[in-house]
Amino acid sequence: MKVLVAVKRVVDSGIKVRVKPEGIDLQGVKMTINPFCEIAVEEAVRLKEKKLIAEIVAVTIGPKQGAESLRHALALGADKAIHVTTEARIDQTVQPLDVANILAKLVERDNYNLVLMGKQSIDDDFNQTGQMVAGLLDWPQATFASNIQITDGIAQVVREIDGGLQTVKFKLPGVITCDLRLNQPRFASVPNIMKAKSKPLETIPLEKLGKLHNSIQITKTEAPSIRKGGAIVENVDVLLQKLRNEAKLF
């Protein structure tokens, strides 16, 4: 069984970004693999360790630096990588439908049995791509996975939903998007980082697989409003008065 794992390169979650009207300023900013994608790679590696899958292929769509996320996935245990290259901004111009179209084309080209993805990219927070890949391939999907079991070609997935946990199952092939509690990714060891450098990495220009649709125009990007400082009040009466007169809560 072959698994395609989609990994996106995003701004590191520990970075305080500079927001400009035209988007986040990426100049000199530390980038990293999207945390939910790292969880997806870890899950693929665990499935391979249990001998449930034979091959893990990591794919990213984005500029040349995206190769760093692929090398990270290879160091964690992916066998091969595919870099679909474009210089367009992947947090703005390359949108979920574009990514989904490309992933669906790769699935058709290479015959994967499972696509593992992050539930969401932490830069654009779309939470759309996995669902679109499943739609385009007409495959079943399980989103927000916190547990995955595969037995005899059937995937059983525990999903994190508002009311608790929902268990679903479907016959593979299918798409699964990974949530935070699915696993704790391992650290890449130095020997594995070295080994990753010689694993196969195929590069394909995006134009060979599709085109960008620009179906969504981002009209403005704003930083969240600055939080005003708190104050300690003398007693409950003053608190109520402030809530009524200043915060106008009632």
Min dist CB 244 to ligand AMP, Å, is 41
From 20-28, 89-97, 146-154, 180-188, span contacting ligand AMP (CB under 6 A): 89-97
What's the CA gap between 80 and 111, in Å, rounded? Answer: 15
Q: Smaller CB distance to ligand AMP: residue 61 or 182? A: 61
Question: Which one of residues 110, 126, 135, 170 is an interface residue with ligand AMP (CB under 6 A)?
Answer: 126
Is residue 97 a contact point for ligand AMP (CB under 6 A)?
A: no
Is residue 10 a contact point for ligand AMP (CB under 6 A)?
A: no
For ligand AMP, how many residues bind (rule: CB under 6 A)?
A: 23
From 31-39, 161-169, 184-192, 215-223, span contacting ligand AMP (CB under 6 A): 31-39
What's the CA gap between 54 and 73, in Å, rounded? Answer: 16
Min dist CB 48 to ligand AMP, Å, is 18
Is residue 99 a contact point for ligand AMP (CB under 6 A)?
A: yes
Min dist CB 35 to ligand AMP, Å, is 9
Q: Say if residue 6 is exposed, middle or buried (CB neighbours under 10 Å; 0-12, 13-18, 19+).
A: buried
What's the CA gap between 35 and 181, in Å, rounded? Answer: 11
Min dist CB 177 to ligand AMP, Å, is 7
Question: Which one of residues 77, 96, 173, 185 is an interface residue with ligand AMP (CB under 6 A)?
Answer: 96
Is residue 37 a contact point for ligand AMP (CB under 6 A)?
A: yes
Question: Which one of residues 38, 41, 44, 62 is an interface residue with ligand AMP (CB under 6 A)?
Answer: 62
Min dist CB 245 to ligand AMP, Å, is 42
What's the CA gap between 244 and 250, in Å, rounded? Answer: 5
**Residues near ligand AMP (CB under 6 A):** 6-8, 34, 36-37, 60-62, 90, 94, 96, 99, 117-118, 120-121, 124, 126-130
